[in-house]
Amino acid sequence: MTDKAIVCKDLCKQFGDFTAVNRISFDVNKGEIYGFLGANGAGKTTAMRMLCGLSYPTSGEATVAGYNVYRQQEAIKRNIGYMSQKFSLYENLTVRENIRFYGGVYGLSDSQLKEKGVELIERLGLGKEMNKLVGELPLGWKQKLAFSVAIIHQPTIVFLDEPTGGVDPVTRRQFWDLIYHAADQGITIFVTTHYMDEAEYCHRLSIMVDGRIDALDTPAELKRKYSARTMDEVFYALARGAKRSAD
Amino acid sequence: MRTLKFLLEKEFRQIFRNKSLLPILFVLPMVQLLIMPLAADFDIKDIRVAIVDNDHSSYSRRLTEKIGASGYFHIEGFAASYAEALRLVGTGSADIILEIPPQFARNLVKEGDQKVYLAADAINGMKGSLGASYLTAVLTDFNNDIRVEWMQPQKMEPQPTIEIVQENWFNPSMNYPFFMVPGILVILVTMVAGFIAALNIVQEKEIGTIEQINVTPIKKWQFILGKLIPFWLIGMIDFTIGLLIARLVYGIVPVGHIGTLYLFLSVYLVALLGFGLLVSTYSDNQLQAMFVAFFFIMIFILMSGLFTPVENMPGWAKVISHMTPVTYFIEVMRMIVLKGSDFGDIRTPFLIVLGFAVLLNAWAIFNYRKTS
């Protein structure tokens, strides 16, 4: 129990007679980088929102950081970080003000805020831009900043929903350096992506098709199982059978 | 408490950094307060009269001069016939026709009785009826004048008549800004609190930052207070500036206790902010929130008794009127500012608005969900 960051069993989410997430089961180990793959509309975001306590499951069981997703959402929210597809920092606040705000609402003390702020700005090399409005930063920097802010309170798990969408390859690479750095500090990473090269960076990953998890293993094992040379081919083999149209 | 501090810090930074919002919050209401009372003046002056004088006697001329001298009428022209006068009304250059029949003076002297014909353009019902009644008053006056002239030399007992003397209390000179400014001030505060709060929260939904807020341990009440407090303060400031303008520009000094006024305002603002909050929880984008808030605020304003007395409304309209908080505040504003009512007098509206505040906010908090 203690070495699992997320335990998920037969989790379902139904919108009317549409089953967005259909009985998915998986575990995520502590400190693991877990890739959560799937085509558009496969149900990734819905599943992630349930785990973050943003949405009630229709049925099934799940615990996140040891807390129940039905009853202990507030406890979950204290122990996770979340970075959504939509950019979610305040564009009309400066870099420093955003850090202060999110750090503050996660209950960091004044000295922690100062210390974390300096450390974060230094690691991202944002020294000069510290007092710039976030809206003026290029997208790649915004994403890196959003990630750093999402883990400012040292959460047990951080959920990343397509964090590198629309970002150039160099910045993506830097972004994954940040992810590895966070994983080294013991933060469990739960990440969705559409880039198959990024899938290779994950310790383990699952692929969702039409609301179900059709495959779950290490990248190497998946490639062997589907006798594919790259993750791309694995993904094609699975997602080709999808019935749902993209969202 | 500490979370709330960070929320407030963020809100104030955002508000004061928003260069397009600041003028809307502080300048526009003041400009409106300077312009609207001048436009919303129900006092009718310059009623244009077309006179059809079929008599051309000294009496008919005296009557005409009296009308012209009253200050309310402007004699637009003398028409040769009623049909010609009607054409003047038709082209919109006259509001009222006064037809003096032939033999006006003769009948008046001989028979002591004479009728004149008065026709008013009632497209603008208010102007028509007020104009006609003013003109009737002038005629009555004229009537008295000549009666006095004739009775006196005969040394007869004057006929007993009851003369009505009017005195207007609380607004002795029937000054319209006195009546309108307190009401308009209420509307301005209502717009700021009702609209801006609704739009602000929906904006967070639209940008997607609310989702980020929803995954943090920020509690519902903290988030909502973080939104209410800044706009509550802005409402208070706007009202204060408005009171100053009322004093400096219109010379309106509240007769009643200003503390009572602010007590009522503080509760009223909570009610209106609750309304804005409620609208925001039901809307997905700013356009939607704007239209929903606009729809309700229009009803609030039109039913509030600002322009038309609530007492004159049909029963069903009175019911609607009493279901909008604005009605109560306009009533209370006029009571305190013009009449000098104290808390005892406004207790009932106060409790009703307090009820609105509790109900609307409870509903909004209930309807705002961190988890769907």
Bridge-based pairing state of the strands A33-38 and A188-192: parallel
Domain residue extents for chain B: 2-40+174-367, 47-154
Q: How far apart are CA B341 and CA B352, in angstroms?
A: 17
A88 in reach of chain B (CB within 8 A): yes
Q: How confident is the model at residue B42 (pLDDT cuts 50, 70, 90)?
A: low
pLDDT of residue B230: 92
Q: How far apart are CA A159 and CA A155, in angstroms?
A: 10
Contacts of B211 in chain A (CB under 8 A): 54, 84, 86, 88
pLDDT of residue A226: 84
Domain assignment present for A47: yes
Domain assignment present for A183: yes
Nearest to A90 among B209, B218, B372 (CB): B209
Q: How confident is the model at residue B133 (pLDDT cuts 50, 70, 90)?
A: confident
Contacts of A105 in chain B (CB under 8 A): 3, 6-7, 216-218
Q: How confident is the model at residue B71 (pLDDT cuts 50, 70, 90)?
A: confident
Q: In 3D, which of B266, B191, B194, B197 has the Cα closest to residue B230?
A: B197
pLDDT of residue A247: 47
Contacts of A69 in chain B (CB under 8 A): none
Mean pLDDT of B271-284: 90
CB within 8 Å: B216 and A106 = yes
Q: How far is CA A150 from CA A29, A171, B49, B63, B221, in A?
A: 20, 18, 76, 86, 23
CB within 8 Å: A80 and B215 = yes
pLDDT of residue B152: 61
CB within 8 Å: A97 and B13 = yes
Is residue B365 within 8 Å of B273, Cβ to Cβ? no
Contacts of B6 in chain A (CB under 8 A): 100-101, 104-105
Domain assignment present for A218: yes
Q: How confident is the model at residue A34 (pLDDT cuts 50, 70, 90)?
A: very high
What would be the CATH architecture of the domain defined by B47-154? 3-Layer(aba) Sandwich (3.40)
Q: What is the ipTM of this complex?
A: 0.84
Q: How confident is the model at residue B157 (pLDDT cuts 50, 70, 90)?
A: low
**Residue B140 pLDDT > 70, yes or no?**
yes
Residue B238's SS3 state is helix
Q: What is the mean pLDDT of chain B?
A: 85
- Considering its fold, how many domains does chain A have in total? 1
Q: How confident is the model at residue B159 (pLDDT cuts 50, 70, 90)?
A: low
Domain assignment present for A78: yes
Find the closest chain B residue to A83 by CA distance: B212
Mean pLDDT of B191-204: 86
Q: How confident is the model at residue B67 (pLDDT cuts 50, 70, 90)?
A: confident
Q: In 3D, which of B134, B143, B164, B148 has the Cα closest to residue B70?
A: B134
Ordered DSSP codes for B163-222: PP-----SSTT--HHHHHHHHHHHHHHHHIIIIIHHHHHHHHHHHTHHHHHHTSS--HHH
Mean pLDDT of A178-187: 91
Percentage of residues in chain A having pLDDT higher than 90: 19
CATH number at residue A165: 3.40.50.300
Mean pLDDT of B104-109: 81
Q: Measure in Å the smallest separation between the Cα of A236 and chain B Cα atoms.
A: 32
Question: Two tokens at B210?
Answer: 């609310």
Weakest mean pLDDT among B50-59, B137-146, B169-178, B290-299: B169-178
Nearest to A88 among B2, B212, B217 (CB): B212
Domain of A166?
Answer: 4-88+157-239
CB within 8 Å: A82 and B212 = yes
CB within 8 Å: A84 and B212 = yes
Q: Measure in Å the smallest separation between the Cα of A79 and chain B Cα atoms.
A: 9
Question: Two tokens at A44?
Answer: 């990734």
**Residue A125 pLDDT > 60, yes or no?**
yes
A101 in reach of chain B (CB within 8 A): yes
Domain assignment present for A125: no
Ordered DSSP codes for B311-359: GGS-HHHHHHHTTSHHHHHHHHHHIIIII---TTTTHHHHHHHHHHHHH
Mean pLDDT of B109-125: 81
Contacts of A77 in chain B (CB under 8 A): 215-217
Neighbours of A116 (CB within 10 A): 19
**Residue B68 pLDDT > 70, yes or no?**
yes
pLDDT of residue B251: 86
Q: In 3D, which of A167, A230, A226 has the Cα closest to residue A193?
A: A167
Ordered DSSP codes for B243-259: HHHHHHHH----SS-HH
Q: In 3D, which of B46, B41, B3 has the Cα closest to residue B224?
A: B3
Contacts of B285 in chain A (CB under 8 A): none
Weakest mean pLDDT among A209-213, B42-46, B323-327: B42-46
Mean pLDDT of A116-137: 87
Q: How far apart are CA B100 and CA B107, in angstroms?
A: 12
Domain assignment present for A163: yes
Mean pLDDT of A231-243: 81
Domain assignment present for A108: no
**Residue B178 pLDDT > 70, yes or no?**
yes
**Residue A69 pLDDT > 90, yes or no?**
no
**Residue B47 pLDDT > 70, yes or no?**
yes
Q: Which parts of A125-168 fold into alpha helices (H)? A: 139-150
Percentage of residues in chain A having pLDDT higher than 70: 98
Mean pLDDT of B32-36: 85
A238 in reach of chain B (CB within 8 A): no
pLDDT, tens digit (0-9, with 9 covering 90-100), for B335-370: 898 888 888 888 999 999 999 999 999 998 888 877
A77 in reach of chain B (CB within 8 A): yes
CB burial class (10 A; 0-12, 13-18, 19+) of residue B46?
Answer: exposed
Q: Which residues pair with B97 in a beta bridge?
A: B50, B119
Q: Measure in Å the smallest separation between the Cα of A101 and chain B Cα atoms.
A: 6
Question: Two tokens at A119?
Answer: 């450390």
pLDDT of residue B154: 53
Residue with tokens 């705000």: A101
